[in-house]
Chain A
Amino acid sequence: MAVEIAGADIVRAAAMLGAGIAMGIGAFGPGLGEGIAAAKAGEAIGRNPREAGLLTRTMLVGQAVAESTGIYSLVVALLLIFVV
């Protein structure tokens, strides 16, 4: 007995697949960006340990800003899962 696959199931499956791809590829950019920010911050602290506090704060802000594209892909993925 062939299983009936309605159009809605295909849409639902595509949405889930899209959410996975969105989040997967979306995680690539922030990882790279935050890694570079942390590396540069590490070097800067190595050169000037007295400014470690300010450098750490600036690094955290920079990483949070670099993370925003990943968060946008997360929002898209959540929309695909819960809204479509």
Chain B
Amino acid sequence: MENIGKVSHWVFHLGDTRLVVNSTTLVMTWVVIGLVLAFALIATRDRAMVPGPWQQLAEFLVQTFRELVSEALGEAYEERYFPLICALFIFLLFCNWVGVFPGMEEPTKDINTTLGLGIMGFFIAHGTAIKAKGLKQYLKEYFEPMFFLMPLNVVGEVAKVISISFRLFGNVLGGSIIIIVVTHLVYGLLLPPFLYGFFALFVGTVQAFVFTMLTLVYISVQIR
């Protein structure tokens, strides 16, 4: 109960600069990457016309997101952005689900992970816009309805990154704190699995899907 606010740090001294790293998040991110790779290997190991359970799950994910991406971005961009969107979803899904195992914490519980993914999505969306529409047209669009609305448009773009990152961060952190507090109240009797079921599995899946869908929509808005 008392370790809610505590975050363990690794401190590296590079000459005179101090490099402070959240050790739990870093280690857990690598664990999740390992899990995702293991899932990928198991799913594609012995591909057969009659798919095994893992292959079926992987095919379902790939088909769903290929369809979503082609709907949102159109055929031209689908091939280039589908792997990103699908990998982002699977990574976030495993990130939010890993909290179920005892002793493991979700990397998305740390603002650095979600803000990093949000900023990545921001640069991808705006990089595509600049490449697709050309710098002049891209900049002109900030003055779109009326010239004096430029600050509003710029703030709107930055607000998208903040909102998408804090939504995932707040949901996962809030969920894990509620789980800790309620489990402490009932002394760990009967309730924790249901709490994990709701917060880690259901809310985690929905938030992973929402984060991925919004990243996809932000890219498609920039392209049109």
Q: Which residues of A contact B (CB under 8 A)?
A: 60-61, 64-65, 67-68, 71-72, 74-75, 78, 82-83
Kindly report which residue of chain A lies nearest to residue B178, judged by CB atoms. A74
B206 touches A75 (CB 8 A): no
Q: Are A82 and B167 touching (Cβ within 8 A)?
A: no
Chain A contacts for B206, CB-based, 8 A = 60-61, 64
Check if A64 sits within 8 Å of B170, measured CB to CB: no
Label chain A's interface by main secondary structure.
helix
- Tell whether B96 is near chain A: CB-to-CB under 8 Å: no
How far is A82 from B2 in the complex, measured between Cα atoms in Å? 11
Q: How far is the CA of A13 from the CA of B210 in the complex (A)?
A: 36
Distance from B210 Cβ to chain A, minimum over Cβ atoms (Å): 4
Q: How far is the CB of A21 from chain B (nearest CB, A)?
A: 17
In the complex, per-residue mask of B116-128: 1 if CB is within 8 Å of any chain A CB, else 0: 0000000000000
Q: For residue A70, which residue of chain B has the nearest CB?
A: B170
Assess whether B5 is in contact with A71, with CB atoms less than 8 Å apart.
no
Contact status B4-A71, CB under 8 Å:
no
A-B interface contact total, Cβ < 8 Å: 40
Q: Which one, B167, B177, B213, contacts A71 given CB within 8 A? A: B167
A75–B207 contact, CB under 8 A? no
Please give the residue numbers on chain B whose beta carbons come within 8 Å of chain A beta carbons, in ascending order. Answer: 4-5, 163, 166-167, 169-171, 173-174, 177, 206-207, 209-210, 213-214
- Residue ID in chain B nearest A82 by CB atoms: B5
Contacts A64-B167, A82-B4 given; does A71 touch B210 at CB 8 Å: no
Residues of A within 8 A of B177 (CB): 78
Which chain A residues border B174 with CB–CB below 8 Å? 71, 74-75, 78
Report Cα–Cα, A82/B169, bound state, in Å.
Answer: 16
Report 6 cross-chain contacts, Cβ distance below 8 Å, ordered by A residue: A60-B209, A61-B210, A68-B166, A71-B170, A71-B171, A75-B173
Q: B111 — nearest CB in chain A belongs to which residue?
A: A75
Which 3 pairs of residues, A with B, have the shortest CB-CB distance?
A71-B170, A82-B5, A64-B210
* Residues of B contacting A64 in the complex (Cβ-Cβ under 8 angstroms): 167, 206-207, 210
Compute how far the CA of A82 lies from the CA of B171 in the bound complex, rounded to whole angstroms: 17
Residues of B within 8 A of A60 (CB): 206, 209
Chain B residue numbers with a CB within 8 Å of A65 are 167, 210, 214
Residue from B4, B170, B173 with most neighbouring chain A CB atoms (10 Å): B170
Q: 8 additional contacts, CB 8 Å, given A67-B167, A82-B4?
A: A61-B210, A65-B214, A68-B167, A68-B170, A71-B170, A75-B174, A78-B173, A78-B177
